[in-house]
Amino acid sequence: MQLTSLFHYTVETAKSVQEAIASLGASLQEEKFGILWQLNMKEKLNEKGLDYDPNYYILEVCNPVEAKRALSENPLIGYVLPCKITVYEKDGRTSIGLPRPTALLRLAGGEAMQPLAEDVEQRLIRCIDRSL
């Protein structure tokens, strides 16, 4: 199942959360993106004494060439970098999604950044789709 809006792109996969993250990591490398960091929200919330059961990961991903290009054009772009991809469980199913760079960069950088945002967005969506 695919859920899309002007703000996000989200798809379901039959893979487990860990399998989806591994597959996504390989797919991201094909597009010259890397996972800089991943936050295990379940673990972090439990560590803080909050009961949260579903697996939920936030991955920060980056393509250094595109990040440099965007920051050189408009330093405010750093407010929305690195790009985020979430991998999580809901109702026994695994979903992968991201906020659309076109929506985020429209807020931070105006129309001048839209071609770059569209390129990055399409590449990240391809990565997600290939990882299913």
What pLDDT score does 25 carry?
97
Residue 95 is inside which H or E element, if any? strand 93-99
What pLDDT score does 20 carry?
98
> Is a pLDDT exceeding 80 seen at residue 3?
no
Q: What is the percentage of the chain residues whose pLDDT exceeds 90? A: 80
pTM: predicted TM-score of the whole model, two decimal places: 0.92
If DSSP codes are grouped into helix, strand and coil, which group holds residue 129? helix
User: What is each CA distance from 88 to 12, 13, 59, 64, 94, in whole angstroms?
Assistant: 10, 10, 11, 26, 6
> CA 1, CA 102: separation in Å to the nearest integer?
22
What's the average model confidence in pLDDT over 1-8? 79
Beta bridge partners of 9: 4, 98
For residue 87, give the nearest of 29, 27, 41 by alpha carbon.
41
What pLDDT score does 121 carry?
96
Lowest mean pLDDT among 4-8, 58-62, 94-98, 125-129: 4-8
> Is a pLDDT exceeding 90 seen at residue 18?
yes
> Is a pLDDT exceeding 80 seen at residue 94?
yes
What's the average model confidence in pLDDT over 60-67? 96
109, 77 contact by CB (below 8 A): yes
> Is a pLDDT exceeding 90 seen at residue 89?
yes
Specify burial of residue 67 (Cβ count, 10 A radius: 0-12, 13-18, 19+): middle
Instruction: Write phi, then psi, for 74 (nearest 5 degrees).
Output: -155, 110
